[in-house]
């Protein structure tokens, strides 16, 4: 079978009765909560818009759809967050900083890429931590994981004021890649890879933690050691807040449970998903987040997770 035949074509959704539409371009995306999130917001804003799941590997076809006169922009998810960048006219500072685009905005005939995942992480802390000065200001941050999600988390924590950010991950090569990327972009000077529990014992405790790893029990020796590092840092006298980015198939994870039992405030990953989505709608509609149906949208997402929709 040829490479061209392997491409999953971009669906052409019905848009004639709509005033506007947006979508999510990725593959596969069957379990995404983004359509529910966005259509709930549009309903609350009294917009005759909808949000289509665009499960496809067809970048040219997707871009044709985005250029439709009724398209207001689009979300982008895996595996396209990096691959889409060469096709865009511009990339915002946030998109460039993390090297990934999860949002396309249309401005003056141009397709502009940005990244609202960083906003989702930041706002999860700003909106949920009652006393930031006590919880995380002036303290190191911690990112658990590697790859693109880790870069977004590091960037967000640096923007929150963490001058030092610890990195914990089973794969040193992934950590090295994160450090190299962040350093090249100008925000990696305070990164520190914590390799062992013994090393963690001698460190100042973090105040803000972002966990970007799947909810699996540690199996390999490297995974076991990484978990020990996390446990040591969670056991430090200072207790702050941890954002557990994993929320599918359940919002309750092993790391979240460890943190809660150690006395940390646990912020569910749905908060990051919600606030990155609110920021996307702000780009696409020009409406402020405070105008959006925040409570109704949170309720809709929580209900979907309870019902096992995601």
Domain boundaries, the chain: 3-115, 119-270
- Give the list of residues 6+ apart from residue 133 with CB closer than 8 angstroms, or none: none
Out of 81, 106, 110, 282, pick the active-site residue. 81
pLDDT bin (cut points 50, 70, 90) of residue 1 is very low
> If 0-12 CB within 10 Å is exposed, 13-18 middle and 19+ buried, where does residue 63 land?
middle
Residue with tokens 């706002």: 123
Both tokens of residue 205? 């405790």
* pLDDT the model gives residue 310: 55
Calpha distance 282→94 (Å, rounded): 15
* pLDDT the model gives residue 82: 96
Taking 90 as the threshold, does the pLDDT of residue 145 lie above it? Answer: yes
Calpha distance 23→215 (Å, rounded): 28
Residue with tokens 């900083």: 97
Mean pLDDT throughout 260-289? 97
pLDDT bin (cut points 50, 70, 90) of residue 251 is confident
Residue with tokens 């096992």: 308
- Give the list of residues 6+ apart from residue 243 with CB closer than 8 angstroms, or none: 121, 124, 125, 208, 209, 210, 211, 267, 269, 271, 272
| Average pLDDT score over the chain | 95
What three-state secondary structure class fits 173?
A: helix
- Give the list of residues 6+ apart from residue 110 with CB closer than 8 angstroms, or none: 89, 90
* pLDDT the model gives residue 307: 81
pLDDT in tens, 54-109: 999 999 999 999 999 999 999 999 999 999 999 999 999 999 999 999 999 999 99
Architecture of the CATH domain 119-270: 3-Layer(aba) Sandwich (3.40)
* pLDDT the model gives residue 206: 98
Taking 90 as the threshold, does the pLDDT of residue 228 lie above it? Answer: yes
CA neighbor of 184 nearest in space, from 98, 83, 105: 98
Calpha distance 216→148 (Å, rounded): 19
pTM for the model stands at: 0.93
Mean pLDDT throughout 248-256? 85
Cβ proximity of 146 and 169 under 8 Å: yes
pLDDT bin (cut points 50, 70, 90) of residue 250 is confident
Helix ranges (H only) for 136-249 are: 148-159, 172-184, 197-201, 221-234
Reply yes or no on whether 239 is catalytic: no
Peptide bond into 79 cis (omega under 30): yes
pLDDT in tens, 104-144: 999 999 999 999 999 999 999 999 999 999 999 999 999 99
Mean pLDDT throughout 272-299? 97
* pLDDT the model gives residue 252: 83
CATH code for the domain defined by 3-115: 3.40.50.10860
Q: Which residue has the higher pLDDT, 263 or 250?
A: 263
Phi and psi at 273, nearest 5°, equal: -60, -45
- 3-115 and 119-270 share one CATH topology? yes
Calpha distance 34→221 (Å, rounded): 36
* pLDDT the model gives residue 292: 98
């Amino acid at each position: 079978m040829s490479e061209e035949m392997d491409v999953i074509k971009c669906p052409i959704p019905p848009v004639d009765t709509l005033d506007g539409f947006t979508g999510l371009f990725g593959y596969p995306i069957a379990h995404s909560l983004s359509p529910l999130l966005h259509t709930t917001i549009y309903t609350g804003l009294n917009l005759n818009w909808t949000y289509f799941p665009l499960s496809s590997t067809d970048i040219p076809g997707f871009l044709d759809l985005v250029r439709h006169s009724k398209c207001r922009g689009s979300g982008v998810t895996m595996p396209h967050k990096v691959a889409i960048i060469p096709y865009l006219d511009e990339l915002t500072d946030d998109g460039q900083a993390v090297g990934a685009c999860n949002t396309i905005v249309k401005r003056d005939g141009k397709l502009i890429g940005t990244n609202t995942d960083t906003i989702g992480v930041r706002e999860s802390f700003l909106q949920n931590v009652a006393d930031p000065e006590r919880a995380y200001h002036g303290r190191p941050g911690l990112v658990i994981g590697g790859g693109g999600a880790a870069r977004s988390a590091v960037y967000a924590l640096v923007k929150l004021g963490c001058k030092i950010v610890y990195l914990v991950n089973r794969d040193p090569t992934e950590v090295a890649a994160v450090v190299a990327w962040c350093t090249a972009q100008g925000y990696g000077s305070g990164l520190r890879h914590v390799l062992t529990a013994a090393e963690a014992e001698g460190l100042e405790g973090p105040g803000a933690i972002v966990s970007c790893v799947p909810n699996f029990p540690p199996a390999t020796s490297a995974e076991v050691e990484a978990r020990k590092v996390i446990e040591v840092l969670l056991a430090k006298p200072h207790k702050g807040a941890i954002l557990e980015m994993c929320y599918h198939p359940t919002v309750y994870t092993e790391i979240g449970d460890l943190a809660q039992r150690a006395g940390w405030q646990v912020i569910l990953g749905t908060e990051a998903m919600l606030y990155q989505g609110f920021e996307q709608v702000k780009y696409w509609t020009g409406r402020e987040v405070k105008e959006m149906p925040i409570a109704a949208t949170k309720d809709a997402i929580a209900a979907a997770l309870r019902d096992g929709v995601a």
